Amino acid sequence: AQKVTQAQTEISVVEKEDVTLDCVYETRDTTYYLFWYKQPPSGELVFLIRRNSFDEQNEISGRYSWNFQKSTSSFNFTITASQVVDSAVYFCALSEAKYGGSQGNLIFGKGTKLSVKP
Amino acid sequence: DSGVTQTPKHLITATGQRVTLRCSPRSGDLSVYWYQQSLDQGLQFLIQYYNGEERAKGNILERFSAQQFPDLHSELNLSSLELGDSALYFCASSSRALIQETQYFGPGTRLLVL
């Protein structure tokens, strides 16, 4: 069973539209971290945000915002007033506590490809 | 720029060959992770090293091996290569491998097996 599900494979929007990328996760741990990474066409993976399981406050960074809801095991990412430069594949990832609290590997979703057209 | 470097950027080789991918973590980071990104499998964790010792293993094939050297750089060795090994291989690093730390990724090595 997938631990991180990004149900939207591809999304296409027109510039200045708002867009939300969905992420649903599954874990039995009480302590875990969630991440979003961006992979632009050039291929590198760029870190966007980290959120721990005890902090359900929404976070806003410029045009980016994140909504974490433990009740629905979701960690959704919204881009407001999208721009062409936002075109990329976006990955949601989960890190569970292992080995007495040390970090294990990241478990990635399949990614959502966002295309922003001018 | 994440501070993680990987060489080479691109690698083209033939089936049955062996290649070595190299990774230098961010300055001060002790933990190195290797991931494989392929079209069918997505991003998958291969192996983790912490301060020179293997810490965790994921879906890493027996034909693949890795090590982390005293200067903390890491190498991923892929042998008896098959067409299906063609993928983008990422290295990531974090400070002390604690759950709350962020893994920073290198630019990747794109491997094409012909």
At residue B83, what are phi and psi to the nearest 5 degrees?
Answer: -55, -40
Nearest CA in chain A to B36: A108
Residue B84, H or E segment: none
CB spacing of B56 vs A110 below 8 angstroms: no
Rounded to whole angstroms, the Cα distance separating B72 from A15 reads: 44
Q: Which of B9, B102, B110 to probe by mutation at the A interface, max A CB count within 10 Å?
A: B102
CB spacing of A103 vs B58 below 8 angstroms: no
* Residue B96 vs residue B68, higher pLDDT: B68
Q: How confident is the model at residue A101 (pLDDT cuts 50, 70, 90)?
A: low
CB spacing of B105 vs A108 below 8 angstroms: no
For residue A1, is pLDDT > 60?
Answer: no
Residue B88 and residue B108 in contact, taking contact as beta carbons nearer than 8 Å: yes
Q: How confident is the model at residue A105 (pLDDT cuts 50, 70, 90)?
A: confident
CB spacing of A35 vs B102 below 8 angstroms: yes
Q: Report which residue type is found at B51.
A: N
* Residue A87 vs residue A28, higher pLDDT: A87
Count other Cβ atoms within 10 Å, centred on residue A11. 17
Secondary structure class of A72 (helix, strand, coil): helix
Count other Cβ atoms within 10 Å, centred on residue B34. 24
Taking contacts as CB-CB distances below 8 angstroms, the residues of chain B near A30 are: none
Summarize the confidence of residues B64-75 as an average pLDDT.
Answer: 97
